[in-house]
Amino acid sequence: MKLGDMNQAAPEEPAQSAPASNGSNASGAPEAIAEPSIRLGAWSFYFLAKILLYWRELIGFHPLENIAFAAFLLMPVRSRTGRWLRNAAAVPLALTLLYYDSWLPPIDRVLSQATLLSNFSFGYLLELSGRFISWPVVAMLVIGWVGYRIAARYLRTGVAVMAALLALAISSSRDEVNIASAPAASGREEPARQAAGAGSGNLDAMVQEFYAGEAQRIVHFAKADQGAPFDIIFLHVCSLSWDDLRAVGLDSHPIWNSFDFMFRQFNSAASYSGPAAIRINRATCGQTPHKSLYTPAADSCYLMPSLKQAGFETNIALNHDGHFDDFLTEIRKQGVNAPLMPLNGVAVPQRGFDNSPIYDDYGVLSRWLETRQKTDAERVALFYNTISLHDGNKIVSGPDSKLNSFASYKPRVEKLLNDINGFMEQIRKSGRRAIVVVVPEHGAALRGDKFQIAGLREIPTPLVTTVPVGVKVIGPDAVRTGSSAQIMEPASYVSLSQMIAQMIAKSPYGEAGFSPADYTESMTPTEFVAENEGMVMVRRDNRFYLKQGSDGWKEYVNPAN
């Protein structure tokens, strides 16, 4: 098919006879002047395919922009050259509009990350590209094309397409009005709806008032000069959510039953490592909007400096070099200024998507513990970050080395959980007192969902940001009375800081033992609001709503499917 003939490719409308001109051709017959074409032709299938994808919830849809594009295609053009030029302009416009309708990151976001993408290995790029191809969807579109070709012989499909676009525009505007104006539920309201007020259903106002309320929350650590000294160890884990664990059958791993405190609805509030690292390192203050993460916060909002003031010497260790996306630089900006623990001699069981070394978790943590036992500091707070579960990692040796990063996720998770278990057992055997806090950054989006492919985390869905957070009290005089605390209320970093502050003020160590309830009774919940650049997701009445860029709010229907 020639580009200039796309508007005439399908027999959508009968051709009209062209009137004779005053000129004549070489044979002396009157020369015809072509009537301008005002039909969509093969472009009808472009819109029909997008409607099919939208119906399957595989893309979003912007009816007004699509109507404007259809109007551009329907503009009457007399000459073949004019039609060719219109179609030459239409092809890039069509691709741009398709991308705009998709759930893929905004194009400016992709361009801003181009340098980072250039670091990906060829094998990882190939793996990612394969995730975009869905053979059932390809089959659906092929069947749709055949159906369209048959229908175009008997129907004016362009008229049907325009009617469908108009209907979608009306339906979409009604949905946005309903979401924006729905009243708040009566009865027991969740914290975010309480903040918005009983008569306010506007989601923008709810988010603004949520952040206004969070701005008033702050946790102060008392001076840790009473009771038996102990260490606090934060294990910040990349790419681990409850949904990922369920996907690989490790949500029942023994480690989850070993914690004294288990957060079941902890929202990491971000789905990328940089923002997640900033959020945990500002855990003593309430949740802030994404854009505020990159501006300085009040001194009292920084976790590690606050612990230092409370009497803890701060340490930092990573199982990677921290160069990707300036991760270590960002951590330093949060007041984590201790020297980075050297990793020379530690085993390297994995390579990252950029072929950088990823060191063995148990090896790194064991080295830290050995170093810790040689220091005179009474109390130490360690921030440890691991990327052993990051998408794109490659196992170096053994039977799993043949697996791509997607297939190797389960053995990597199993090893990491076993390493953490082994590290906690090593602490117990050493006789040291330590509170170990496992806090994932975000999930791996291992299963993906209807709105984004596996591994893509641009939309901060609850499947990605609801992460397993566990707290374990270890020591020779750490005796728990009663069962572990299963915290089912929605929580985030302030809740964790509140628990740590209470443990500093009232040590869990001693002959009397500790009751988990002593550290959870005054904990205040944090309702679900998660953000990335240009993306906001909120929960209301156990339903989730997404705002993408300047678009209106839309319900993120059944994210578990």
Q: Domain check: are 174 and 26 in the same one?
A: yes
> Quick check: 4 pLDDT over 50?
no
Shared-domain flag, residues 231 and 119: no
Beta carbons of 348 and 358 less than 8 angstroms apart: yes
Query: Could you tell me which residue, 522 or 313, shows the higher pLDDT?
Result: 313
Collect all residues with Cβ–Cβ distance below 8 Å to 266 and sequence separation of at least 6. 439, 466, 467, 468, 469, 487, 491, 492, 495, 496
Question: 264 and 335: one domain?
Answer: yes
CA distances from 356 to 127, 272, 455 (A): 18, 19, 20
Angle, alpha carbons 63-99-59 (nearest 5°): 60
Over the stretch 198-230, which tens digit does the pLDDT of each residue have? 333 589 999 999 999 999 999 999 999 888 899
Identify the pLDDT of residue 111: 63
Residues 166 and 267 in one domain: no
Predicted confidence (pLDDT) per residue in 450-503, tens digit = 778 888 898 999 999 999 999 999 999 999 999 999 999 999 999 999 999 999
Q: Write the CA distances from 299 to 74, 219, 277, 331, integer angstroms.
A: 60, 12, 17, 15
Same domain, 240 and 135: no
100 touches 65 (CB < 8 A)? yes
- Average pLDDT along the chain: 85
Q: What span, in angstroms and rounded, lies between the C-alpha atoms of 64 and 169? A: 6
Which of 34-38, 184-188, 441-445, 552-556 is predicted least confidently?
Answer: 184-188
For 407-428, the pLDDT digits (tens) are: 999 999 999 999 999 999 999 9
Q: At what angle do helices 203-214 and 157-181 cross, to 10 degrees?
A: 40
User: In this model, does residue 280 exceed pLDDT 80?
Assistant: yes
Higher pLDDT, 21 or 151: 151
CA–CA separation, 351 and 108 (whole Å) = 29
User: What's the average model confidence in pLDDT over 352-378?
Assistant: 95
CATH number at residue 302: 3.40.720.10
449 and 304 housed in the same domain: yes
What is d(CA 317, CA 338) in angstroms, rounded to the nearest whole number?
9
Q: Are 379 and 320 in a shared domain?
A: yes
Give mean pLDDT, residues 272-291.
96
pLDDT at 340: 96
What six digits make up the tokens of 535?
A: 């993306």
Within 8 A by CB and 6+ apart from 149, the residues are 10
Q: How many CB atoms lie within 10 A of CB 101?
A: 18
Inform me whether the pLDDT recorded for 271 exceeds 70: yes
What domain count does the chain have?
2
CB atoms within 10 A of CB 23: 9
The answer to whether residue 197 sits within a structural domain is no
pLDDT at 13: 44
Shared domain for 170 and 228, answered yes or no, is no
Would residue 506 count as lying in a domain? yes
Q: For 41, list phi and psi in degrees, rounded to 5.
A: 60, -135
State the residue range of the domain holding 112: 3-181
Instruction: Check if the beta carbon of residue 53 is closer than 8 Å to that of residue 136.
Output: no
Q: What is the pLDDT of residue 533?
A: 87
The model's pLDDT over 509-524, given as tens digits with 9 standing for 90+, comes to 998 899 999 999 889 9
- Which among 133, 154, 181 is the end of a domain? 181
To the question of pTM greater than 0.85 for the whole model, the response is no
Distance CA(81)–CA(551), nearest Å, equals 37
Euclidean distance between CA atoms 129 and 247, whole angstroms: 22
Same domain, 173 and 229: no
User: In this model, does residue 30 exceed pLDDT 60?
Assistant: no
Residue recorded with tokens 């993460």: 293
**Res 32: pLDDT:** 47
CA angle 158, 18, 155 (to 5 degrees): 20
545 in any annotated domain: no
Q: Answer yes or no: is 505 within a domain.
A: yes
Q: CA-CA distance, 338 to 371, in Å (whole number)? A: 14
Q: Where does the pLDDT of residue 115 fall: very low under 50, low under 70, confident under 90, or very high at 90 and above?
A: low
Specify whether 363 is located in the same domain as 230.
yes
CB 29 within 8 A of CB 423: no
Structure tokens, 373: 């036992």
**β-pair partners for 77:** 37
Residue 457, helix vs strand vs coil = coil
Residue 397 lies in a domain: yes
199: in domain: no
Whether residues 389 and 524 fall in one domain: yes
Residues 144-167 have a mean pLDDT of 84
Sorted by sequence, the CB contacts under 8 Å of residue 77 that are 6+ apart come out as: 36, 37, 83, 86
pLDDT confidence of residue 173: 64
Task: Answer yes or no: is 196 within a domain.
Answer: no
> Minimal CA–CA distance to 89: which of 118, 112, 69?
69
| 532 pLDDT more than 80 | yes
Same domain, 386 and 464: yes
For residue 376, CA distances in Å to 312, 313, 338, 372, 552 come to 12, 10, 16, 8, 57
pLDDT at 388 over 70: yes
Which of 181, 200, 228 is a domain's end point? 181
Find out whether 83 and 3 touch, Cβ atoms under 8 Å: no
Choice among 42-46, 126-130, 495-499 with the minimum mean pLDDT: 126-130
Q: Who has greater pLDDT, 95 or 155?
A: 95
Confidence (pLDDT) at 103: 77
- pLDDT value, residue 118: 63
Please spell the DSSP secondary structure of 165-234, one letter per residue: HHHHHHHHHHHHHHHHHPPPPSSSPPHHHHHH-TT---HHHHHHHHHHHHTT-B--PPP--SSS--EEEE
| Residue tagged 């017959």 (tokens) | 29
User: What residue has token string 């092809």?
Assistant: 91
Report the candidate in 458, 463, 451 with the shortest Cα–Cα distance to residue 536: 458
530 or 226, greater pLDDT: 530
* pLDDT confidence bin for 183, thresholds 50/70/90: very low
| Helix (H) / strand (E) containing 68 | helix 63-74
Q: How confident is the model at residue 242 (pLDDT cuts 50, 70, 90)?
A: very high
Question: What angle, 0 to 180 degrees and rounded to 10, lies between the N-to-C axes of helices 135-152 and 43-55?
Answer: 130
Calpha distance 42→149 (Å, rounded): 9
Is 384 part of a structural domain of the chain?
Answer: yes
Q: Is the pLDDT of residue 382 over 80?
A: yes
Judge contact between 179 and 33, C-beta under 8 A: no
Tens of pLDDT along 424-441? Answer: 999 999 999 999 999 999
- Tell me the range of 87-91, 293-297, 530-534 where mean pLDDT is highest: 293-297
